[in-house]
Structure 1
Amino acid sequence: MAFLELDGLTKSYGALTVVKGVNLAVEKGKLVCLLGPSGCGKTTTLRLIAGFVPANGGEIRVGGKVVSSAASTVPPEGRNMSMIFQSYALWPHMTVFENVAYGLRLRKRPAAEIKNRVDTILAATQLTKLAERYPGELSGGQQQRVSLARALVIKPEILLLDEPLSNLDANLREEMRFEIRRLHDEFRYTTVYVTHDQVEAMTTADVIVVMNDGRIEQAGSPEDIYERPETEFVARFIGGTNILSGARLDDRTVSAEGGLVLACSSGTVGAAGATTAVSVRHHDIKLSQTRPDVDTNVASGTVTRQIYLGSHRDYLVALKGGATVRTVAPVHVAIPVGGEVWLRFPPEHCRALAQ
């Protein structure tokens, strides 16, 4: 049995329904990322789990016990969950030690237990030397670690994170992604993490749940979501991809835009006459100035944009048939704008998405 279960969860504000019958089962000790664009319903789903807002329909169960339904809602303080917000929400007049100890003191734990548990979690989050500092004396990354320590020290049944790295600069975000995963591996709390950043999700999650317009588009491991997207939305949202639409030729081949014939090694081509989208990742397309020695999955075009990005070059190519394709190439492949090129779309990297 799953530890956290969302069963037909629905939330509306007047005529606007923002969470639409969400079903999700989270195993104990797993880290699940709710991933999607702004307005997709992921933060509202997190707030429903926390008990900050009541559901209009469906249920939330923790360990088999109903904590939220349309009929009744257990208040946040009765759910034994910890939540970390974007703003960290640290007490500015308290030291790091006092901030982390706050939840234990509210629970009236013995002083010796408080000191022992706070000292342990400060060591785990590499904050021991900062215990007597105030939040205003800390960097953004250090403040984020304090908020994590404060959330973990009370030993919650479920840890909730609402875009916790959005206020950090790029270097700190990268550092904290690995820190969050390290702490999860150490403490194994059941965790629900909301983000719109696919790299955060890929780095931290056991399971990624891609949301769109209040619904779950697809749930699976990071590898499943990236390598085997089930819908065009998921393919576009997770990683850079090209979507080429066309008509079915047979159960593995699509006649795409401009007469480009694409053999697909995975996915579902769809029924005869149905439109099929083919997803091909930017980095999987092979770019060259000579024609590949194959008959299918190749097209010629003209470079319309070329950008040097240090580790590689980013190309935009207008195909003869009218479609535009984005691809990448090693830095030594320097073809100027206006140059004629050939693109090969390896069948093993072409995934059909029936529409």
Structure 2
Amino acid sequence: MSFLVLSDLEKRYGALTVVKGVNLSVDKGKLVCLLGPSGCGKTTTLRLIAGFVPADGGEIRVGDKVVSSPAGTMPPENRNMSMIFQSYALWPHMTVYQNVAYGLKLRKLPADEVDKRVKAILGVTQLTPLAERYPGELSGGQQQRVSLARALVVKPEILLLDEPLSNLDANLREEMRFEIRRLHDEFRYTTVYVTHDQAEAMTTADLIVVMNNGKIEQSGTPEDIYARPETEFVARFIGGTNILTGKAKGKNTVDVDGGFTLQCGSGSLVEGGKGIVSIRHHDIELSPKKKVDVNSVPRVVKRQIYLGSHRDYLVDIKGGETIRTVAPVDVEMPVGSEAWLHFPPQHCRALTE
């Protein structure tokens, strides 16, 4: 059963509508990622859920409570939600223990209960040895774990995270992705996580919601979003892909502008209309000789780069336009040579605009 429900949610700033009729249902205990480029409306949607800004239309429901509607808005302090910001927002004059205990003391819990819960969450987040240190004495990853511990210790109904890893270096970001997922699996709080990083979303989320221009473009599991994009925007934003355009000959065949025909194993086209085909870089097969007849074309290698684990190729398809593909290191073809491209039909997906 859905625990967090957004219905026709809207937010306007003057003449600009930044959240446009968003509808989303999140089951209790699930982690949903709002994913998209800067300016797509994902952080504004998160702030609407938190109650930091009032909605201009629609409704937000948590369980059996309406927390935002045209009739009124519940203030943030009454929503029983915890939010983690990009900047961690730790009190610099308080120790780790004191930072984590702060929310419990505001709720006037008995001292022994505060101590019990703080020590328990410090253990879970691997912060016990750092309990008496101050934020300025911690690494970025340690500060982020303190922020997580402080948010979790109050046992919120909903946990909100606003690009929490953006200030960390690449190695720490990767480590913290798995840490956030581990903690989610342990506590199973209903969580809404905002990010522009597809790797974060793929690693942490039960459900990915791709936003574009204030609207939800597509939602689904990480596998659904990656393997079965529904629009050109989603295909381009999630993972490396090639987009080929032409004219649809049927429900699964496109006459590509580059002068060849592709059969698509998934998606659907409107005969006679514009045909758009997505195929991932790593799904194209490159070879010096023709291997199969279907979806195979000869073209000229424009660029080849050795990257250790594979070779990265650009292959000309027409008038300066290129296809990018990767191949094993033993597939070595010099620039200017003819190469055969094979587009396996099962990896060619027809898209809508």
Coarse TM-score class (shorter-chain normalised): over 0.9
- Asked if 2 retains the 8 angstrom alpha-carbon contact of 1:5 and 1:61, the reply is yes
List alignment gaps of at least 5 residues for structure 1.
none
Partner of 1:326, secondary structure, is strand
Aligned pairs for 1:182-221 (under 5 A) are 182-221=182-221
Whole-angstrom distance in 2 between the partners of 1:86 and 1:354: 35
Which residue matches 1:48?
Answer: 48
Equivalent residue number for residue 281 of structure 1: 280
Q: Is the 8 A contact 2:81 2:159 kept in 1?
A: yes
1:158-195 deviation digits (Å, cap 9, x = unpaired): 00000000000000000000000000000000000000
CA distance in 2: counterparts of 1:292 and 1:323, whole angstroms: 24
SS of the residue aligned with 1:151? helix
Q: CA RMSD, aligned part only?
A: 1.1
Give 3-state SS (helix, strand or coil) of 1:318's partner: strand
Q: C-alpha displacement at 1:308, in angstroms?
A: 2.5
Alignment partners' CA distance in 2, 1:100 and 1:191: 19
Matched, 1:242 2:242: yes
Q: Which residue of structure 2 aligns with residue 337 of structure 1? A: 335
CA contact (8 A) 2:266 2:349 kept: yes
Counterpart-to-counterpart distance in 2, 1:112 and 1:313? 60
1:227 aligns with: 227
Partners of 1:300 and 1:320 within 8 A in 2: no
How far is 1:268 from its partner?
0.6
Tell me which moved more, 299-308 or 127-136: 299-308
CA shift for structure 1 position 322: 5.7
Tell me, in whole angstroms, the C-alpha distance in 2 between the residues paired with 1:248 and 1:33: 34
Q: TM-score, normalised to structure 2's length?
A: 0.98
Distance 1:353 1:277, change over 3 A: same
Number of residue pairs matched by the alignment: 353
Residue type of the partner of 1:93? H
8 A contact 1:291–1:342 mirrored in 2: yes
Aligned to 1:133: 133
Deviation at 1:334, TM superposition (A): 2.8
**Distance in 2 of aligned mates of 1:137 and 1:310:** 39
Shift of 1:321: 7.0
| 1:95-106 alignment runs, 5 A limit | 95-106=95-106
**TM-score of the superposed pair, with normalisation by structure 1:** 0.97
Picking from 305, 308, 328, the partner of 2:306 is 308
Q: CA deviation at 1:263?
A: 0.6
Partner Cα separation in structure 2 for residue 335 and residue 168 of structure 1? 39
> Comparing 275-284 with 68-77, which one deviates more in the overlay?
68-77
Runs (4 or more) in structure 1 with deviation over 3 Å come to 320-323
For the residues of structure 2 that align with 1:99 and 1:180, how far apart are their CA atoms? Answer: 19
Q: Does 1:298 align with 2:296?
A: yes
Rounded to whole Å, the distance in 2 between the matches of 1:320 and 1:60 is 50
The alignment partner of 2:136 has SS state of helix
Question: Which of residues 336, 343, 347 in structure 2 aligns to 1:349?
Answer: 347
Q: Which amino acid aligns with 1:293?
A: V
Equivalent residue runs for 1:58-77 within 5 Å: 58-77=58-77
Kindly provide the amino acid, as one letter, of the partner of residue 318 in structure 1.
D
Q: Does 1:109 align with 2:123?
A: no
2-side partners of 1:105 and 1:207: how far apart? 34
Aligned to 1:260: 260
Change (3 A) 1:64 1:49: same
